[in-house]
Amino acid sequence: MTTEQDVRDVARHAKDAAADLAPLPRATKDAALHAMADALVAQTAAILTANARDLANGRDAGLSDAMLDRLALDDGRVAAMAQGLRDVASLPDPVGEVVRGYTLPNGLDVRQVRVPLGVVAIVYEARPNVTVDAAGLCLKSGNVALLRGSASAYESNTALVGVLAEAAEKAGLPAGSVQLVPGTDRESVTHLMRARGLVDVIIPRGGAGLINHVVENSIVPVIETGVGNCHVYVDADADLEMAERIALNAKTHRPSVCNAAESLLVHRAVADEFVPKVVHALRAAGVTVHGDETVLALAGGNAMDGPPVLPATDEDWAAEYLSLDIAVAVVDSLDDAAKHIRRWGTGHTEAIVSNSQPAIRRFISRLDSAAIMVNASTRFTDGGEFGFGAEIGISTQKLHARGPMGLPELTSTTYLVTGSGHIR
């Protein structure tokens, strides 16, 4: 059982490290990131051995295929994590950036400058790559990383944090700049959420249950990342070959992640032509289609080999499947598509496929999501794809940060006011 004192000791160590980490120059931080990347590659065998133990435990515990996919590491994924650190090192350092600056009529110089948040705790599920992405982004932005992964990835995360922390300290970062929060039980998360004054912000990444638990119970400020019930809408003026490619990519490229499409909406004007083709293509790719009455009528039954076409329920419209399942509906208009998305969506990512600029503008204006794709797959809502190098999460809230969170989103600001003996 992890005690509150265990967690607070780690957080207090992190708070001390934050004071020494914040003023370090970019060159020191970048050198540490490169050293961490090299260490990951050098220690790949040990990392994969630890990951194999997690996978075996996960299979014994009955983890779903989607969760096992998120948990699994191989040579390529470790190499990709290392490259992610190098990519972050190549990005501009946000610390010290002047957001705005001006001189007042009385001669005072006012500058709003980016500064680190301090101690950033990330609570997340399964995916060990989050351990590396989060550590890299936090360190580059001058923040200490407190990492609390799920019990299912405990062996992997222990190995990864051990490699990262040793390399970072050898490269000149303060001891305690990257730490694993002790414990695998829920109590350790509770203690972390109560470490106000030691932890500056908590960022939960995972399913709705984890996110809601942190948001509803933490007394430490929270940046909420959201689940992804993402939609693709095929407009009356869509290029249907393009629409099919986008729908297939958005659903099947990597179905276990939050930017995968979970719902497909088709304008009635093109449904007779498009629905049979796209349902056939989806089923051929191994996707189970959950359709409304019109889709069921147009889909041609279950004669072909492949997963079935099933009647959709309210649970399907609301689902973040994270699997090879998709809910498909035919809508009478663009406004009906937007209404459906507003009711069932999670504010993550929506896509429209259309050649009509008025339709595209209306779609954008009728929705309020963190990202909207125009003639592109929902899979592009990602820090790496946006050029951030990596991401700490995808925020669906409206305060401080929204969408993929890169380096600038891990800073706050300080006002620096310089005078020459001014008094008021």
Tokens, residue 298: 């147009």
Q: Which of 151, 167, 26, 127 is nearest to 392 (CA)?
A: 127
Residue-wise pLDDT tens digits, 228-277: 999 999 999 999 999 999 999 999 999 988 999 999 999 999 999 999 99
241 contacts: CB under 8 Å, gap ≥ 6: none
Say what the pLDDT of residue 182 is: 94
Say what the pLDDT of residue 274 is: 98
Tokens, residue 413: 């600001």
Contact 89, 76 (CB under 8 A): no
Give me the chain's average pLDDT, please: 94
Say what the pLDDT of residue 325 is: 97
Distances from the Cα of 414 to the Cαs of 94, 106, 109, 374, in angstroms?
13, 21, 14, 37
Q: Which fold has domain 4-225+405-418?
A: Aldehyde Dehydrogenase; Chain A, domain 1 (3.40.605)
Tokens, residue 216: 């509803």
Cα–Cα dist 248/377, whole Å: 9
Region of residue 306 (left: phi > 0; alpha: psi -120 to 50; beta: else): left
| Burial class for 285, CB neighbours closer than 10 Å (0-12, 13-18, 19+) | middle
Say what the pLDDT of residue 210 is: 87
Q: What are phi and psi of 349, to 5 degrees?
A: -140, 135
Contact 234, 270 (CB under 8 A): yes
Residue-wise pLDDT tens digits, 56-96: 999 999 998 878 988 999 999 999 999 989 999 999 999 99
Torsion sign, CA atoms 258, 263, 266, 267:
negative
Residue-wise pLDDT tens digits, 159-186: 999 999 999 999 999 999 999 999 988 8
Confidence bin at 127 (pLDDT 50/70/90) = confident
Cα–Cα dist 207/320, whole Å: 9
Say what the pLDDT of residue 248 is: 98
Say what the pLDDT of residue 77 is: 96
230-380 under CATH 3.40.630.10, yes or no: no
Mean pLDDT computed over 392-399: 86
Cα–Cα dist 264/66, whole Å: 20
Q: For residue 304, is pLDDT > 70?
A: no
Say what the pLDDT of residue 303 is: 61
More confident residue, 208 or 372: 372
Label each residue of the chain as H, E or C: CCCHHHHHHHHHHHHHHHHHHCCCCHHHHHHHHHHHHHHHHHCHHHHHHHHHHHHHHHHHCCCCHHHHHHHCCCHHHHHHHHHHHHHHHCCCCCCCCEEEEEECCCCCEEEEEEEECCEEEEEECCCCHHHHHHHHHHHHCCCEEEEECCHHHHHHHHHHHHHHHHHHHHCCCCCCCEEECCCCCHHHHHHHHCCECCECEEEEECCHHHHHHHHHHCCCCECCECCCCEEEEECCCCCHHHHHHHHHHHHHCCCCCCCCEEEEEEEHHHHHHHHHHHHHHHHHCCCEEEECHHHHHHCCCCCCCCCCEEECCHHHHHCCCCCCEEEEEEECCHHHHHHHHHHHCCCCEEEEECCCHHHHHHHHHHCCCCEEEECCCHHHCCCCCCCCCCCCCEECCCCCCCEECCCHHHEEEEEEEECCCCCC
Question: Quick one: how far is CA 326 from the chain centroid?
Answer: 21
Say what the pLDDT of residue 217 is: 95
Instruction: Write down the domain spans for the chain.
Output: 4-225+405-418, 230-380
Tokens, residue 252: 């099947």
Distances from the Cα of 287 to the Cαs of 255, 275, 328, 345, 349, in angstroms?
10, 14, 12, 20, 20
Say what the pLDDT of residue 384 is: 81
Say what the pLDDT of residue 205 is: 87
Cα–Cα dist 329/298, whole Å: 11
Q: For residue 403, is pLDDT > 90?
A: yes
Say what the pLDDT of residue 302 is: 64
Say what the pLDDT of residue 256 is: 83
Residue-wise pLDDT tens digits, 314-360: 999 999 999 999 999 999 999 999 999 999 999 999 999 999 999 99
Say what the pLDDT of residue 70 is: 83
Q: What are phi and psi of 7, to 5 degrees?
A: -70, -40
Tokens, residue 292: 């409304």
Instruction: State which amino acid sits at residue 374.
Output: V
Q: Could you give the percent of the chain with pLDDT greater than 70?
A: 99
